[in-house]
Structure 1
């Protein structure tokens, strides 16, 4: 898509006065760095103008030749504390004591949209509603509700093996094609933003035999079975019937191919247990416009094959969307997202490619065409940085201001 920045004026032709104008900024627009300096105007929560000529607003910020870019989007997070929530009382305690701080943490690091892909359906949707209504302060929240898996599949029989109360809420276990369809319809009726299906765990398994899942020194071992193909197909088909994007948790080549051929819109983790040796799989991702969500923050260190695969698919032209697999107990919410941008560059992507993954490509993964770009008519989710992130990806940490829906929500200068 080609976009030429231009001033937007009211129909009367009089000079426009906007709610907010950021003046004299370099711009990364979600796709590329624009040449020169621009004024960016905000009106009613939307970007109203990107102009090379001076414009004025009721409130003006001098960028002093700093950089404006879209707010970051993390398309794969787990928000509720899976290790602390085990009954109604602990759920209430989490929502009262821990949840607000996690939401604020994302904003403090410039993450303006998050997508939850495996939290308790009623809880995460209630949190989404409270953010949307202004009862809670936080980034824009999108949610799949529970992760959909087979009977005794991952994460039901792994992460939640000793927590039956949470297992029944964080994981949706199905044993037949009809149960799969019924659960997808239920989630669609609950107004989730997308569907997440778990086809396997995070370990190598070829054929239909049981295999062992474990995190050395942490959890396991557990015997698991793959989600049967007919159930996977039914889940994706039903999601599409309800107008929802279906993203599938995969870990190896044959499962990734199976998911894509079944109609998956994206691969969570992609291929992380083995090098991608099948070039036709990469071509299939390109032909079907399937997004690859690497989650290097959570899995890159344990799976060096994933790091190499990220560069290979990126070089080939596969769409990469930023997702961290952030969960309780590892790192800081929001800061993990910045680390993911750096890890993608360390894996061989350019700073520009990493920025695209965290903005316009992540918006595509979330099916939110109104996000992830600096362009008139889009939501005014913006970051003001003091240095060029397209030159050095770590400059995303040099954050001056965070703007969400046209409002300044974080000021660091």
Structure 2
């Protein structure tokens, strides 16, 4: 039991102090009146918030993993420590959206069995793109072994359906499609992915509309949410009209000027995941997030963490701070990282401090609803009812 805490319940801050009772892995009660329990943690007027959920990460090192030996080396020497970093920063659930299917599902199983220490892991398995699309022809263009495992490439409607159903048979938690990963070059129909590592650019193929629709439909047939990687307004509109449940990145390479697109997001209940940690260098990314949030679009926190930059866990906190810098209030960002992220992940048991919810909780010394950096002043992390980090 956690006693005498201010509470942000996943949507709003509750007035006064509360006791939170935990029974097994669930929250048994949230009471303004004092409760008694076998084990008691005195919050001493601090804050309790739901554990943070990062809905967009790439966990396996895309630079180091290029064959079976390097894959095993990563899993044995680096993976455990990187998982622990998420817990150390208060992230109790992560969603992988483009890792090698076999590896990430093996990691998910080890976490669920308790043989690995780390956050709750949700996974899409590989991301699915068109033949020659992003990231197959970009990030993995020179790494054919990884390309075949981190990505699925479809050239026909039937191939797309088969890929989605294969992932569903593996019991993935969701499906991620990649509509496009670059912008139309010089206003023409050709797409070019430009990155400091590829100064000449990489020509890309957009995922054809009929394949996009087939992927969304196949995912929904299996009861899975389907989110789509987009960067442009036209691609975002196409994804929503195809039935996508969410936009990964959203609109980043141009200003969000299409008010009808915002209305479409609202009408379809689409979730917008801004990934400012990776896209903040783009001049329109913050303003586009602000427009979407002000209009009432569902926002989910997702950092696009990947190996090679930043630090696991810390990147997620930086994402929250960038979202505030973009114009969202701390309370809105907290909701995006808890109840909003749980909605995006189709996990109604997560992201809230309420009876019957999973007891994934953070105890903080500071008020994160007044200043989002309060998330860094962490006292305790509780995962499934058990303290996993204790900094008292």
TM over 0.5: yes
Report how far residue 306 of structure 1 moved: 1.0
1:361 match: 340
Q: Compared with structure 1, are the counterparts of its residues 219 and 56 closer, same or farther at alpha carbon in structure 2 (3 Å cutoff)?
A: farther
Tell me whether 1:254 sits opposite 2:231 in the alignment.
no
Q: Once superposed, what is the RMSD of the aligned Cα atoms?
A: 1.1
Preserved contact between residue 208 and residue 226 of structure 1 (Cα < 8 Å): no
2:60 match: 80
Preserved contact between residue 213 and residue 220 of structure 1 (Cα < 8 Å): no
Preserved contact between residue 164 and residue 215 of structure 2 (Cα < 8 Å): yes
2:331 match: 352
Tell me whether 1:152 sits opposite 2:132 in the alignment.
yes
In the superposition, the TM-score normalised over structure 2's length comes to 0.99
Q: Compared with structure 1, are the counterparts of its residues 335 and 277 closer, same or farther at alpha carbon in structure 2 (3 Å cutoff)?
A: same
Preserved contact between residue 300 and residue 306 of structure 1 (Cα < 8 Å): yes
Q: Secondary structure at the match of 1:196?
A: strand
Preserved contact between residue 311 and residue 349 of structure 1 (Cα < 8 Å): yes
1:271 match: 251
Preserved contact between residue 158 and residue 220 of structure 1 (Cα < 8 Å): no
Q: Secondary structure at the match of 2:298?
A: coil
The match for 2:122 among 142, 145, 149 is: 142
Cα deviation, 1:85-127, whole Å, max 9, x if unaligned, reads 0000000000000000110000000000000000000110010
Q: Compared with structure 1, are the counterparts of its residues 176 and 90 closer, same or farther at alpha carbon in structure 2 (3 Å cutoff)?
A: same
2:268 match: 288
Give the distance between the partners of 2:365 and 2:184, measured in 1 at CA: 44
Q: Secondary structure at the match of 1:369?
A: coil
Report how far residue 203 of structure 1 moved: 3.0
Equivalence map 1:5-404=2 (5 Å): 21-204=1-184, 209-217=189-197, 221-301=201-281, 303-404=282-383
Q: Compared with structure 1, are the counterparts of its residues 140 and 219 closer, same or farther at alpha carbon in structure 2 (3 Å cutoff)?
A: farther
Q: Compared with structure 1, are the counterparts of its residues 198 and 205 closer, same or farther at alpha carbon in structure 2 (3 Å cutoff)?
A: farther
Give the distance between the partners of 2:295 and 2:40, measured in 1 at CA: 42
Report how far residue 210 of structure 1 moved: 2.3
Q: Secondary structure at the match of 2:39?
A: strand
Give the distance between the partners of 1:54 and 1:206, measured in 2 at CA: 65
Preserved contact between residue 321 and residue 361 of structure 1 (Cα < 8 Å): yes
Cα deviation, 1:53-86, whole Å, max 9, x if unaligned, reads 1111111011010000000000000000000000
Cα deviation, 1:364-395, whole Å, max 9, x if unaligned, reads 00000000000000000000000100000010
Preserved contact between residue 204 and residue 273 of structure 1 (Cα < 8 Å): no
Which consecutive residues of structure 2, in runs of 5 or more, have no partner in the other structure? none
Cα deviation, 1:341-369, whole Å, max 9, x if unaligned, reads 10000000000000000000000000000
Report how far residue 212 of structure 1 moved: 1.2
Give the distance between the partners of 2:160 and 2:198, measured in 1 at CA: 30
In the superposition, the TM-score normalised over structure 1's length comes to 0.94
Q: Secondary structure at the match of 1:153?
A: coil
Preserved contact between residue 107 and residue 139 of structure 1 (Cα < 8 Å): yes
Report how far residue 219 of structure 1 moved: 6.2
Preserved contact between residue 23 and residue 60 of structure 1 (Cα < 8 Å): yes
Cα deviation, 1:301-320, whole Å, max 9, x if unaligned, reads 2x121111000000000010
1:15 match: none
Give the distance between the partners of 1:138 and 1:268, measured in 2 at CA: 24
Give the distance between the partners of 1:40 and 1:239, measured in 2 at CA: 37
Preserved contact between residue 184 and residue 190 of structure 2 (Cα < 8 Å): no
Preserved contact between residue 182 and residue 191 of structure 2 (Cα < 8 Å): no
Preserved contact between residue 273 and residue 301 of structure 2 (Cα < 8 Å): yes
Preserved contact between residue 97 and residue 176 of structure 2 (Cα < 8 Å): yes
